[in-house]
Amino acid sequence: MVNTNKNNKLVDFFTGTPQYNEDKDYADYAFFTAPLNMFFLACLLLHSAYLVIFSLYRMPIMLALDGICVVLYATFVILLKYFKGSWLPCTLVSAFELYIHQICTVYMFGLSPGFQYLLIPLMFTSIFLRKKGKIVTFIRRLIVILSSATFIYLVIVFNDYQPVTVIPYEFNLALLIINCLISFLVTAIFTTRVVTSLDTKRSQLDTSVNEKVDEIEQMQNQIIISFANIIEARDGSTGKHVKRTSEYVEALVKELKRNGDYEDILTDGYMHDIMLSAPLHDIGKITIPDAILTKAGRLTQKEFETIKMHTINGKKIIEQSMSDIENENFLKVAKSVALYHHECWDGSGYPYGIQGEEIPLSARIMTIADYFDALVAKRSYKAALPTSVVFDNIKEQRGKKFDPVVTDAFLRIRDQIDEIAKANAD
């Protein structure tokens, strides 16, 4: 009865990943050492077969040279399997083996060096063709097939084929063709395994990087929302104001995009930045005294001037606290939202009284979302208004307080806005 466990161990020794690759410091080399180990193994078996032929034909020189090759290949297989970092010295010592191999080739087959040997490194370039589909896979295989076929053709037809051995000509020629085919086959298998391992490694890295990016972005979003909720709580509102306004903004930018409005501005990246910036629109309120921010009665002119400063201060806070963020586009949008979200289409807003398209689109979107929520939400200094009344008010302010295009989009999704307001009511 065959010992299955022993057979599995034998197969794993020759084709499995070297044991030391389980070490975290060397695990990244597994994609290279495993196929290289198999490559050396195939060469070991091939040259062992040559030893038998050379012994039968009593060719002591070839026997000695090929014996050295067999010893080297056997050493490479063992070193790669068990010793950390051994793939580098093995690869360097392979240069010596290749030199011996060339001597054997010239002596046995009577071949002189020629440009056809450039086809060998050409095959290895296929390793760097990243797997992206059937076309790239086909090209990679085509390189291997054409290189091997062309090499054999050039070696036989365009070479001074004068073997100096005692082996019969026909047998020698057949052996040359078999040698080339097996050598290229081994190389093809080696490159395929390296490519497959590389593609797997790249895929794992891409997945890991994407997961980390998503995780960091979610963490960043949560920090922004939590920070905004703390600030909003100071004037008597709840965290749901941040949630509602953010959802209004998201629904509005998607409707603008769907309708083809401002398509030269509303790229996917710009839309993402607006939605991420929405919770930060009132970040400047952290600089406003509680006595003014929570005042139940009407503000004096001086107090109102102080309130206005939350827009300018908000921009400064974002500049100072987020200066290390590499996403310049996000910072630009975030600062625009904080600074200009109280500007009006007709120039009657603050802090600068700019008008029309001088106001960044991100701020014009934030303005209508913030205005709607300010009226439908109950505050310490005012009662909540019915959404129907607020929608009518917004319609009247079209072209005055609000961008006409943005207003039309907001009114088109009235039902959706109404649902968001009800689902997140205080």
Three-class DSSP labels, the chain = CCCHHHHHHHHHHHHCCCHHHHCCCCHHHHHHHHHHHHHHHHHHHHHHHHHHHHHHCCCHHHHHHHHHHHHHHHHHHHHHHHCCCCHHHHHHHHHHHHHHHHHHHHHHHCCCCCHHHHHHHHHHHHHHCCCCCHHHHHHHHHHHHHHHHHHHHHHHHCCCCCCCCCCCHHHHHHHHHHHHHHHHHHHHHHHHHHHHHHHHHHHHHHHHHHHHHHHHHHHHHHHHHHHHHHHHHCCCCCCHHHHHHHHHHHHHHHHHHHHCCCCCCCCHHHHHHHHHHHHHCCHHHHHCCHHHHCCCCCCCHHHHHHHHHHHHHHHHHHHHHCCCCCCHHHHHHHHHHHHHCCCCCCCCCCCCCCCHHHCCHHHHHHHHHHHHHHHHCCECCECCCCHHHHHHHHHHCECCCECHHHHHHHHHCHHHHHHHHHHCCC
378: annotated active-site residue: no
Catalytic residue among 81, 243, 285, 315: 285
Residues marked as catalytic: 285
